[in-house]
Structure formats: structure tokens, C-alpha cells
Amino acid sequence: MLAMITVLNPPKGIELQTTTLHGADVDRCVLWRCSGDSIEKIMEVDRHVGAAMSGITADAQTLIDHARVEATNHWFSYNEPVRVQALTQSICDLALSFGEGSDENSHKQKMSRPFGVALLLAGVDEAGPQLFFSEPSGTYWPVKAHAIGSGSEGALNNLKDGYTDELTLQEAETLAIGALKQHMEEKLTSINVELAIVTHEKGFHVCTAEELEVVIGRL
């Protein structure tokens, strides 16, 4: 089994960490975040895709809404789910369009500034579990283990030390949560942690508190 692990930390001053796991042989992805606020940081893009954000929430919502429209249009045009990479490319194309539009021959509304948000898109499509990281600059790439933002270096080191291609999904969850726990100031509980899973069978699913307790109990 291949487990792809990504820890996403926001800029300094925001208490949030997000971890994404992929289990290749079971076609599932896991989005994991810890936050003391009520702002939604993990969002469903389509039935088979979820996203985690770090940065300006309003910018993230704009990009996610754009991706949702792209996913819907693709379904109506081709009667199939859009690929995760195609959604990521669509988001990055919008980010790269900063400074364009608002002329006589353009129907685009010119943006006053670049988007100030990094996104992590995880999902399952015909190519299997997919995980992509997009920067505010509009560039993106696939990742297995990665960390960004304040305090991410330590978390990434933990992941690199414990990561192997042979990890089971439970082992990958434990590794990710362990890295998360080591870099949290408060105690990790089912109250300050959110877990979302994307599977081929059930799509995007946010775990209940009871399901979270089972995962946390493995530590």
C-alpha cells in the first residue's frame, strides 16, 4: 500500500495543521486538520475531491467555488467526474490570470491582487488517489510528503522519518496524527481536530467525533 502524507500549516498566528493521506490500494484519501477556530478549512469540492486551505479564507472560497463550477460543467459535458489534476490546473489557471481582463475585448473581471492562499486538493479518480499542492503563485505539483507554513519544518521531518511506501492506512494516520500532536500547544482531541475521508465507494466524508476518538486512541 502506498500512503501519501501531506501536512499543511497556515501562516504564523493561525492555530491550524492539516494532514492529507492517500492509501493507493484502497482508493481513499484523508484530510486532517486541527484548529481552535470555527472557520472551515477543509471543504468538499466534488463528491470525489476535498480541499484544505492555508491563507486568506475568502480567497480560498473563491478558488473552491471556481473548482466546483468546473467540476459541475465537466460532469454535464462528459457525464463523468473531472480528474483531480484537471481541477487543480483550473484553480491555478485562475490564480495565474491576475492582471488580465477588464479590457474592451475581455469578459473577465480584473483582480486587484494575487490570491493569498495555498491549497491542497486530494481525491480519487480513474487514475487512483491523487494529491496536489497549489501555491498562491499559480504553480502546482503532486506530493507524497510535504509541509508548508509556520512550524511546518518539524512536522515534515517527523513525516519523512516515519514514512515508507509500505505503510498501511492506519499506520499512515497514526504517523500523521503523531506529527500533528507533537507540534500542537494544546491537547489533541476530537473537539479541535477534523477528519475527512474521500473514498471511491462513498466519496467525501467528514468523520464523526466517535470515529475520531478511535483514530486518536491509536496514539
What pLDDT tens digit does each residue of the chain (219 aa) get? Answer: 233 444 333 333 223 344 455 443 444 555 555 555 545 678 899 999 988 888 888 999 999 999 999 999 999 999 999 999 999 999 999 998 876 655 554 445 556 688 998 888 888 888 887 888 899 999 999 877 666 666 667 777 887 888 777 777 677 777 777 777 777 777 888 887 777 778 788 888 888 889 888 888 988
User: What secondary structure, in 3-state letters, does 36-85 show?
Assistant: CCCCCCEEEEECCEEEEEEECHHHHHHHHHHHHHHHHHHHHHHCCCCCHH
- The enclosing domain of 76 has a CATH number of 3.60.20.10
- Residue range of the domain that includes 155: 3-216
pLDDT in the model for residue 86: 96
pLDDT in the model for residue 61: 93
Task: Please check whether residue 161 is in contact with residue 20, taking contact to mean a CB–CB distance below 8 angstroms.
Answer: no
Q: How many domains does the chain have?
A: 1
DSSP states of 169-212 as a string? HHHHHHHHHHHHHHT-SSPP-SSSEEEEEEETTTEEEEPPHHHH
